[in-house]
């Protein structure tokens, strides 16, 4: 595993680089200590008979990719996206995260931080962005996602996009199966 690596219980967190054109850094703390900024975080966990496969990748640009250990690739998802003033804000961008084991369940990796719709001019933000990564099995991965959104001011979604059911997307999923 190249890149910066941290061990938290059975989890390994690797800070790396998103090769995509929209890469954005996530300022990362591990157990309260700042460790740097990375445009991609990769999460590895031991799975019986498979050593330490990567099971989750999280990009600062707002994409999460899950890979069950016995599959080539799995589900991808994005966070909230919406149309405002003729512009599509595709997904929340992750600004900062702190990684630590959940004090109530040491098998769970807890990621807490902040996400916004537009890092240059935030309009919607989530000050309580939270992901919980659950211990994976050979054919499954569990991720809990919690956040609330706060708007800087009142706004309207684009009416034409609302009529097409595209005005506000809470989350977007795709599968590679």
Mean pLDDT for back-to-back runs of 10 residues, the chain (177 residues): 83 94 95 97 90 91 84 81 90 97 97 96 95 91 94 89 91 73
Whole-model pTM above 0.85?
yes
pLDDT recorded at residue 2: 54
- The answer as to CATH 1.10.600.10 being correct for domain 4-171 is no
| Number of neighbouring beta carbons within 10 Å of residue 92 | 24
Question: Which backbone phi and psi does 55 adopt, to 5 degrees?
Answer: -115, -20
Domain ranges of the chain: 4-171
Burial environment of residue 172 by CB neighbours within 10 A (0 to 12, 13 to 18, 19 or more):
middle
**Per-residue confidence (pLDDT) for residue 176, from 0 to 100:** 60
* Beta carbons of 24 and 12 less than 8 angstroms apart: no
Distance from the Cα of residue 84 to its chain's centroid? 23
Identify the pLDDT of residue 1.
46
């Amino acid at each position: 595993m190249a890149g910066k690596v941290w061990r938290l219980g059975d989890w390994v967190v690797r800070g790396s680089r998103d090769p995509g054109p929209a890469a954005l850094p996530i300022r990362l703390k591990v157990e309260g200590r700042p460790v740097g900024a990375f445009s991609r975080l990769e999460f590895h966990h031991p799975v019986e008979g498979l050593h330490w496969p990567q099971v989750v990748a999280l990009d600062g640009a707002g994409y999460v990719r899950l890979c069950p250990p016995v599959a080539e690739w799995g589900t991808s998802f994005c966070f909230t996206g919406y149309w405002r003033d003729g512009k599509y804000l595709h997904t929340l961008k992750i600004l900062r995260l702190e990684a630590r084991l959940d004090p109530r369940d040491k098998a769970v990796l807890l990621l807490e931080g902040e996400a916004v719709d537009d890092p240059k001019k935030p309009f919607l933000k989530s000050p309580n962005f939270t992901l919980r990564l659950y211990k994976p099995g050979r054919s499954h991965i569990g991720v809990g996602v919690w956040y609330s959104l706060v708007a800087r001011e009142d706004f309207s979604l684009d009416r034409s996009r609302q009529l097409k059911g595209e005005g506000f997307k809470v989350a977007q999923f795709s599968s590679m199966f």
